[in-house]
Homo-oligomer: A and B are copies of this chain.
Amino acid sequence: MTEEATRNVRLTIEYEGTAYAGWQLQDDQPTVQAVVMMAIEKALGERVTVIGASRTDAGVHALGQVANFRTKSQMAAWKIAHALNAHLPDDVAVTAAADVPFEFHSQYAAKGKHYRYRVRNDRYRSAVDRAFVHLVRNGLNLEAMRESAKVLVGTHDFRAFATQIDAKKNTVRTMTRVEWSKDGPLLTLDVEGNGFLYNMIRTFAGTMLKIGGGAWPASQMAKILASKDRKQAGPVAPAKGLTLVEVNYGARG
């Protein structure tokens, strides 16, 4: 006799993605989803499926990934968080846990996400931030990068910035923020939007680094966007610079 799960628990998860082949389960490769499911099995004695809001890629980090799972456990949510942290590796941590309505689905309910891409623009590499920044040694023109970033704000067809995209897929998304900030040699790109195509943020970053490096004028961005042609955009910037900062669920999230 198997009891039915009657409860839905939402987790906020932080991780350094360096050692993982991304969020999503894969055969024979370490993934964040796998270690979270393993920790739940150890802590609660149940094999469950954990649904993640974002399928972060290999090497991508998260400060605020959101996931949920259904369970029969009666353990208080805060105790579940502690128990999972005891079974998770050091580079993955549950930073919050809460009961949510049974029908809550962390991926489908997401209203928007906030990603951050970090570049260190310096002659020399760093040590402390090494897992979280993409090093660019050539001088970057931040003003040109900021100018091109503005083009991406709003509702557009972002097909030119998507990798391996089906021709029939709807590639229109809305970006509410595409913004560079600077702190010494560290350049940070904050991107907020209602949804993201595969490799989109990293292709934004790779394209703006082309512009910042002088290969293209800032005005090139509008042409790339209008082309809807992936071949016009810049390269996919390295995964290590990307962090999923937050998933937004609106007022009821």
Report the separation of the CA atoms of residues A112 and B63 in the bound assembly, to the nearest whole angstrom.
Answer: 35
Contact with B along A87-117 (1 / 0, CB 8 A): 0001111111000000000000000000000
Residues A123 and B81 in contact in the complex (CB < 8 Å), given A16-B128, A128-B61: yes
Which of B61, B95, B123, B128 contacts A124 (CB under 8 A)? B95
Contact of A127 among B14, B123, B127 (CB under 8 A): B14
Which single member of B14, B78, B132 contacts A126 (CB below 8 Å)? B14
Q: When each residue 58-99 of chain A gets 1 if its CB lies under 8 Å from chain B and 0 otherwise, what string results?
A: 000101000000000000001001100100001111111000
State whether the Cβ of A182 lies closer than 8 Å to any Cβ in chain B. Answer: no
Establish whether residues A127 and B78, one from each chain, have CB atoms under 8 Å apart when the complex forms.
Answer: no
Decide if A82 touches B132 in the complex (CB within 8 Å): no
Q: Does A47 contact B (CB under 8 A)?
A: no
Chain B residues near A78 (CB, 8 Å)? 123
Q: From the candidates B93, B124, B125, name the one contacting A125 in the complex (CB within 8 A).
A: B93
Contacts of A95 in B (CB 8 A): 122, 124, 126
A-B residue pairs in contact (CB < 8 Å), sample of 19: A14-B126, A14-B127, A15-B127, A16-B128, A78-B123, A81-B123, A81-B124, A82-B123, A82-B124, A91-B127, A91-B130, A92-B127, A93-B130, A94-B124, A95-B122, A95-B124, A96-B124, A128-B132, A128-B243
